[in-house]
Structure 1
Amino acid sequence: MLPTEKDAGSASMSQVSTSTERANQADVAYGRLKQLILDGTLPAGAQMLEQEAATRLEMSRTPVREAMVRLRQEGMVEIRPRHGMRVLPISASDMAEIYAVLTALEGTAAELVAQRGITPRQLAQLRGAVADMQTALERSDLKAWAAADEQFHLHLVRLSGNSRLIQMVGQLWDQAHRARMLTLQLRPTPSNSVKEHADLVDAIAAGDGPRARKVHEDHRRRAGTMLVDLLDRLGLNQL
């Protein structure tokens, strides 16, 4: 008996549902594996088999495999046949390259935000992140400072409205995150960071695009140089 149109429609809907569920599972696997890397649970050099990851995440191997492919595309892992994934290290030279690109992209974002204009609510978000950074430093809580700093940069880039820029910065930020967190307690207290961020917000509020770009690029260059010099000085060739 030939399938009816209704039967064909039901089959089609079932296929779409299955495909969507698989995609959602892959997103979940990707997010959870990525977080294990970013928080250092899976350090550089750590290996994880597909089945091992699937068991840990309590899901099938297919979404785990897809998640590993995404992580490879972002430069965070390499995939080895029959050995699953291996977390790639980040070297001082890697960080120099990453910060060079971040400086250019985020400088562009800062200029775009200033030129586009900013609402009082958006401005309050940026100023709130700066205030959180100041409060964290007063408590000598570097983890809280780093979290507030990250929120500031996320807000800034999103406000640019450039989807491709947002995506590229996100990938680079994830790669830099591990090095930033692993060296957090080793670097000098970021005393000037709050003022530099506040100066950037003032430039954005004034609608001064060129100044916003310069302030942010100068800040990023100093931060990148400090981090790379620290890695070299401590002999941390790979993280």
Structure 2
Amino acid sequence: MKANLQAMWLRTSTEVTVRQRLHEVLRQAIIRMVLAPGQALSEKEIADLFTVSRQPVREAFIRLSESGLVEVRPQRGTYVVRISRQAVLEARFIRESLEVAIALEAAKCTLPSGVLMELNELIERQRSCIERQDHDRFFFLDEMFHRTLAISTGQTMAWNVIEDVKAQLDRVRYLSIPDSTPIPKLTDQHQAIVDAIAAGDTTAAVQTMSIHQREILHSLPELERRFPELFEDVGMKIHAQTI
């Protein structure tokens, strides 16, 4: 775990503040299950690991708690929260609403050829992850695809809202790759979205994006069955049955 965290730290930009780097590393570590649900986090251990003071670590914990990824318990410690089904469903609803609106806007305004080329290049890079089974790389490229689409339509604020609310959703998305939601299926959906936008077909753009954003609804029940210990609601039910 420590080696993974240090590797993630080295990949972050040194042009941002220590607090921002810590927040990004810890956020990604929680999303990618390097820091598991229920795990205790120590300010001192993390500060020592990255050779920083405890203040920026404390500030990063606060931001993570605001995103619903950790729980700070006074006098008891800080813990990675288990995945909340309700939080995932609410985040998915918000994300679908905004991303469908973004796809509609993109199809209506006719994106420049350079942007369409960039989106298609991202899809090709996603396809290259299939053979290598590079799930981490695909997850990064998937983020880039949706961010590029939002920014290119002038919807930076909408993307910021999406990023703020999707932390819990991202953990389920990461778990769903590759088994519950295979990379080829997601890549084909991305291609269908871009094709609809390029054709200026607003109906198809809305439909393809909506289908894409609802994919998690199919994988969530399977993931709860496979990883009950990671989910807050499922874990509580199992605990109640064993008492």
SS of 1:230's partner is: helix
Aligned counterpart, 1:236: 228
1:9-68, CA deviations, whole angstroms, 9 ceiling, x for partnerless residues?
A: xxxxxxxxxxxxxx9232222222223223322111111122222222211122221111
SS of 2:179's partner is: coil
* 1:24 and 2:11 correspond: no
Give the one of 218, 225, 239 matched to 1:226: 218
1:60-119, CA deviations, whole angstroms, 9 ceiling, x for partnerless residues?
A: 122221111111111111112234421111134433332222211111111122233322
Give the one of 43, 55, 74 matched to 2:36: 43
Cα separation, 1, equivalents of 2:141 and 2:94: 22
Aligned counterpart, 2:160: 167
Cα separation, 1, equivalents of 2:203 and 2:194: 13
Aligned-pair CA distance for 1:235: 5.8
1:143-177, CA deviations, whole angstroms, 9 ceiling, x for partnerless residues?
A: 14444333322222222322321112113343322
Aligned counterpart, 1:58: 51
SS of 1:52's partner is: helix
5+ residue gaps, structure 2, are 1-15, 232-243
TM-score normalised to the size of structure 1?
0.78
Cα separation, 2, equivalents of 1:186 and 1:192: 11
1:63-212 matches, within 5 Å, as 63-137=56-130, 139=131, 141=133, 143=135, 144-187=137-180, 189-212=182-205
Structure whose CA Rg is larger = 1
5+ residue gaps, structure 1, are 1-22
Runs of 4+ aligned structure 1 residues displaced above 4 Å come to none
Q: Counterpart of 1:236 in structure 2: which amino acid?
A: P
Q: Counterpart of 2:35 in structure 1: which amino acid?
A: L
Total equivalences in the alignment: 215
SS of 1:43's partner is: coil
1:171-207, CA deviations, whole angstroms, 9 ceiling, x for partnerless residues?
A: 3343322222233243253544333222211221123
CA contact (8 A) 1:142 1:184 kept: no
CA contact (8 A) 1:95 1:224 kept: no
Query: Percent sequence identity over matched residues?
Result: 27
Cα separation, 1, equivalents of 2:227 and 2:77: 29
Q: RMSD across aligned C-alpha pairs, in angstroms? A: 2.5
